[in-house]
């Protein structure tokens, strides 16, 4: 994964309306051209159809440009006139957060075992070769001789290689912890994001109803109006093109962390019934349900936003890979966490899917059979 690698796969409502307008104009133009050309025979009708379609297509493109372009230019001019630097107006300074202190509160800490410790644990049979090889591919300094330099895609592959989901959530918390001081230095009156991080960390110890209530207690979206005083500097082109600041990316990381922790506690998307002919209806397929029920999917999004919040995104990505390798080598409850996750999948979530998912646009029994294979990938498959 590299900064900016995540691509948008959908369209906005405005884009959809513009596409519908262009298509409607093209169809109406083709129909009108066909009617005019019908008096000149089949060839004339075909020529009128083509010319009408092209004319309608151009007209459909021109209409949004005439309406939207002036508004967009006016908005760009207004943003260019905004002050580049915003200063503190509240007079509250306070002590800044220490990211290392937050990392130290996570299971496994931030340092991880050293080279000598890794060798001793392997000799005692406490660390299998698969974990060492995985850490080596991520660039762990104590295992570099076991694998070539890490390449793009190694992080995503490692996250989906069968890691305990609790470890994945701890890694996401660690990535977000590095972004939280950046957020509070820009929005230094805001404390809601710190509460979100605390709730996500609490999910590592107790993914029960109380933790879920803490995760759901805050606003679904984080409006700037709730943040209070803001201190930042935005060059003119960043203001004109509405580029996110480091603090904005840190906000994205924290609130994506909340979604990651919520999925770890209760993956409601597995059994949710989507109403037909709505925007959510597009997620009513087994692939999306299973992909977003895995903490690794959103954890990767947390890491990307946290990297963009850093002063050097590439260096932050390298730190994230090594941090994950540290956790892989030093995770003491590997088997116990896997067993706990499997128990929740098989004893709680699969029965709930069978009980609550009664209507869908796919084969529900086949979907239920896929859940253990996708959410518990380390289990041996039986034919």
**Residue 287: closest CA among 370, 216, 354:** 370
Reported as a pLDDT band with limits 50, 70 and 90, residue 114 is low
Instruction: Name the range with the highest mean pLDDT among 96-100, 108-112, 235-239, 332-336.
Output: 332-336
Q: What 8-state DSSP symbol labels residue 96? A: P
Phi, psi of 85 (to 5 degrees): -115, 130
pLDDT reported for residue 112: 58
Q: Which residue has the higher pLDDT, 78 or 304?
A: 304
Instruction: Write down the mean pLDDT value for the chain.
Output: 81
Q: Which residue has the higher pLDDT, 323 or 129?
A: 323
Q: Which residue has the higher pLDDT, 327 or 71?
A: 327
CA 15 from centroid of its chain's CA atoms:
22
β-bridge pairing 232-233 and 85-86: antiparallel
Residue 85 β-bridge partners: 233
Q: How far is CA 52 from CA 21, 37, 56, 57, 199, in A?
A: 15, 10, 6, 8, 60
Q: Which residue has the higher pLDDT, 90 or 370?
A: 370
| Calpha distance 117→132 (Å, rounded) | 12
CA 226 from centroid of its chain's CA atoms:
23
Average of per-residue pLDDT across 108-135 = 70
Q: Is 3 left (phi over 0), alpha (psi -120 to 50) or beta?
A: beta
Instruction: Name the range with the highest mean pLDDT among 40-44, 90-94, 364-368.
Output: 364-368
Weakest-pLDDT range from 27-31, 89-93, 186-190, 203-207:
89-93
Over the stretch 185-197, which tens digit does the pLDDT of each residue have? 888 777 788 888 9
**Which structure tokens are listed for 19?**
């596409």
Over the stretch 319-364, which tens digit does the pLDDT of each residue have? 999 899 889 888 889 999 999 999 999 999 999 999 998 888 889 9
Tell me the torsion sign for CA atoms 315, 316, 317, 318. positive
CB 310 within 8 A of CB 316: yes
CB 357 within 8 A of CB 286: no
Asked whether residue 312 carries a pLDDT value surpassing 90, the answer given is yes
| Calpha distance 92→226 (Å, rounded) | 16
Q: Which residue has the higher pLDDT, 184 or 8?
A: 184
pLDDT reported for residue 7: 40
């Amino acid at each position: 994964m590299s900064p900016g690698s995540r691509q948008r796969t959908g369209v906005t409502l405005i884009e959809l309306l513009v596409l519908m307008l262009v298509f409607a104009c093209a169809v109406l133009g083709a129909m009108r051209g066909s009617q005019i050309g019908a008096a000149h025979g089949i060839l004339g009708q075909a020529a009128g159809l083509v010319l009408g379609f092209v004319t309608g297509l151009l007209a459909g493109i021109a209409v949004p440009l005439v309406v939207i372009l002036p508004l967009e230019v006016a908005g760009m001019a207004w943003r260019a006139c905004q002050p580049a630097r915003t200063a503190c107006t509240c007079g509250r300074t306070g002590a800044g957060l220490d990211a290392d202190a937050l990392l130290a509160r996570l299971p496994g800490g931030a340092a991880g075992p050293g080279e000598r410790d890794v060798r001793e644990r392997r000799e005692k049979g406490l660390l299998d070769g698969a974990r060492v090889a995985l850490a080596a591919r991520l660039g762990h300094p104590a295992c570099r001789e076991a694998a070539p330099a890490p390449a793009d895609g190694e992080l995503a592959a490692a996250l989906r290689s069968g890691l305990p989901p609790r470890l994945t959530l701890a890694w996401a918390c660690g990535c977000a912890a590095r972004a939280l001081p950046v957020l509070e230095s820009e929005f230094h009156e805001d404390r809601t994001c710190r509460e979100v991080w605390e709730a996500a960390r609490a999910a590592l110890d107790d993914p029960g109803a109380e933790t879920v209530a803490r995760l759901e207690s805050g606003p679904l979206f984080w409006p700037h109006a709730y943040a209070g005083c803001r201190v930042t500097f935005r060059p003119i082109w960043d203001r004109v093109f509405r580029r996110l600041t480091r603090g904005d990316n840190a906000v994205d990381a924290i609130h994506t962390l909340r979604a990651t922790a919520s999925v770890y506690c209760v993956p409601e998307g597995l059994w949710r019934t989507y109403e037909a002919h709505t925007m959510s209806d597009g997620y009513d397929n087994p692939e999306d349900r299973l992909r977003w029920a895995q903490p690794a999917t959103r954890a990767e999004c947390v890491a990307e936003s946290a990297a963009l919040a850093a002063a050097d995104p590439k260096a932050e990505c390298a730190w994230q890979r090594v941090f994950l390798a540290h956790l892989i080598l030093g995770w003491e409850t590997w088997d116990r966490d896997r067993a706990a996750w499997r128990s929740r999948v098989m004893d709680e979530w699969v029965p709930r899917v069978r009980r609550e998912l009664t209507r869908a646009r796919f084969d529900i029994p086949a979907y239920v059979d896929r859940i253990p294979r996708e959410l518990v990938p380390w289990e041996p498959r039986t034919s």
